[in-house]
Structure 1
Amino acid sequence: MATPASVIAAAAAPPTPGRPSIIGPASGPEPPFPLRMEGRVISGFGRGSKELGIPTANLPVDASATPWISDFKSGVYFGWASLQLPASPATPSTTTNNGFTVYPMVMSIGYNPFYRNTVRSAEVHVLHSFAADFYGAPMRLLIAGFIREEKDYAGLEALIADINFDCEVARASVARPAWTPRELFSGSSSNSSSSSADPSKDGQEGGTLDGAWLLRPWSEKAQETTAPATGGDGTA
């Protein structure tokens, strides 16, 4: 697929001045984080790849399943996503933790003022290259922190530049041990003795964040309905 001209132009555009390159203290997420969200991936507005060069996997914004989201500030967040994808020669599975693999992610929750959306959406950009779409796949999010508020932009290039910087901020922020699920390295999930390690983590210091919830068995009847957890089983 050809790269959109707006994406090429955005490569030379700077992000909004004065933005921090890393979020939160080295000691790990601070209340109310981390937060949990889960569901099956749904289709979005169809512009992530086409216009922005940044594919997204959307989840329903459902207050009955995710009570905290109704009063939560719109904006850009970061953390971890776990996906249950079928293995194939093009996208082999790297884990047997109930079929889930964990990846860093950045996401927006809100209306996206640039596009004048009238419906609130949760759009997740998983920081990994996939060979195919995965609509309908089970996805869990461990939302570790807040990057910035959503804003309008004078042009598409400025929007893309800020999104690309969001991705850099997310990668840098979750790379620290207290922000990284220990299950990525130890495979210490209560459901499996094998690792869900991302190959890109080779050589990185092991994490201490509890990510067991990301890897537990999927149940359509057990969608997460709690506010932020305070420890133990995880907490996006």
Structure 2
Amino acid sequence: MRGPVVKGFGRGSKMLGIPTANLDVSPLKLQADALAPGIYFGWAAVAKEDRRDVGGGVYRMVMSIGWNPFFDNAKKTIEPWLLHEFGGDFYDQELRLHVLGYIRPEANFTTLEDLVKRIHRDAEVAKTCLALEEFAKHAHDPFLVEGLVPN
């Protein structure tokens, strides 16, 4: 998947402490519909722009695709969390995603704290999987690295 980073609901950073780099579902409907709603892992590439001091690399990511039952979304979302500390946002910059594996289906949670704990556990699963050679090698996929300006 690829597309410009768009503003989401504003819950990731502010409410959850988990900043996501959202993609617009509309142009990615075929790809998003091909994946069951749930949590995935893979690699993400952010193109670096001259005016911004973020991006320019390939990063581990964990991603939610679906309706986020805890928040009862009416609209399907694509919400990757790049597992890296960035110095700023990268709205409108191109984000490329190479989805490699499925972690779990969407789930509802009784508390916000339970949701945040599970998201962090999903991130640990993603990191563990992406450290395995069979998944690590995909960080160098031409789809991700082609045209990137190094950080």
Would the TM-score normalized by the shorter structure come out above 0.5? yes
Q: Which runs of 4+ in 1 moved over 6 A?
A: none
**What amino acid is the match of 1:163?**
I
Distance 2:32 2:89 in 1: 26
**What amino acid is the match of 2:66?**
G
Specify the SS of the correspondent of 2:6. coil
Distance 2:20 2:138 in 1: 26
Change in Cα spacing, 1:104 to 1:121, as seen in structure 2 (3 Å) is same
Larger strand fraction of residues: 2
Pair 1:58-2:22 in alignment: yes
Specify the SS of the correspondent of 2:59. strand
% of aligned pairs identical? Answer: 41
Change in Cα spacing, 1:154 to 1:182, as seen in structure 2 (3 Å) is closer
Specify the SS of the correspondent of 1:54. coil
Q: CA deviation at 1:68?
A: 3.3
Q: CA deviation at 1:67?
A: 1.9
Distance 1:158 1:175 in 2: 26
**What amino acid is the match of 1:128?**
H
Distance 2:118 2:134 in 1: 26
Change in Cα spacing, 1:183 to 1:42, as seen in structure 2 (3 Å) is closer
Number of residues of Structure 1 aligned to a counterpart in Structure 2: 148
Q: Which ranges of structure 1 fall in alignment gaps of 5 or more residues? A: 1-36, 94-99, 185-210, 219-236
Aligned twin of 2:128: 172
**What amino acid is the match of 2:6?**
I
Pair 1:154-2:117 in alignment: no
Matches within 5 A, 1:79-98: 79-86=42-49, 91=53
1:51-97 superposed Cα distances (whole Å, 9 cap, x missing partner): 111000001113x5452322421000000000002357x9477xxxx
Larger helix fraction of residues: 2
Q: What TM-score results when the alignment is normalised by the length of structure 1?
A: 0.58
Specify the SS of the correspondent of 1:113. coil
Distance 2:104 2:19 in 1: 20
**What amino acid is the match of 1:175?**
A
Aligned twin of 2:89: 133
Q: What TM-score results when the alignment is normalised by the length of structure 2?
A: 0.89
1:31-57 superposed Cα distances (whole Å, 9 cap, x missing partner): xxxxxx000000000010111110000
Distance 1:127 1:156 in 2: 20
Q: CA deviation at 1:213?
A: 1.1
Q: Report the RMSD for the aligned CA atoms in angstroms.
A: 2.1
Change in Cα spacing, 1:60 to 1:182, as seen in structure 2 (3 Å) is closer
Distance 1:82 1:156 in 2: 29
Change in Cα spacing, 1:73 to 1:101, as seen in structure 2 (3 Å) is same
Pair 1:76-2:32 in alignment: no
Aligned twin of 1:144: 100
Change in Cα spacing, 1:183 to 1:105, as seen in structure 2 (3 Å) is closer
